[in-house]
Amino acid sequence: MLIRHFARRAAPMVQKRTFIGIDAMQKSPSKIAEARAVQNKGGTWLGADGPTYLKQKNDKYWTAAAGGLAAFAGIQLVSGYFHMFHGTNKLE
């Protein structure tokens, strides 16, 4: 009897842990029907005509700067490969 008592105490206890937001997510009302109704009427898809990354006032400038940086990096990469392939522009 004592062995059974100590065995139960030594057995790992199952802990009930909850994730902080799970209860709130499970108890909140579903908005899927509302969103589905909007999508069925014609939707709010932005697509290619109005991408989300161009909605703010300065987004066009940031996108142009990122594109310019990517183009510069690509040119530098291709230039480096060209010089390595032909053996030119070496530091001696």
Residue 1: inside a domain: no
In the chain, the percentage of residues whose pLDDT exceeds 70 is 73
Number of domains within the chain = 1
Domain with 61 in it:
56-85
Residue 78: inside a domain: yes
Asked if residue 76 has pLDDT above 80, the reply is: yes
3-state helix, strand, coil in the chain (%, to 5): 60, 0, 40
Asked if residue 56 has pLDDT above 80, the reply is: yes
Please tell me the predicted confidence (pLDDT) of residue 36. Answer: 83
- How many of the other CB atoms lie within 10 Å of CB of 46? 12
Stated pTM of the model: 0.48
Which pLDDT tens digit goes with each residue over 6-47? 666 666 666 666 666 666 777 778 888 888 887 788 766 667
Please, what sign has the CA dihedral across residues 50, 56, 57, 61?
negative
Residue 79: inside a domain: yes
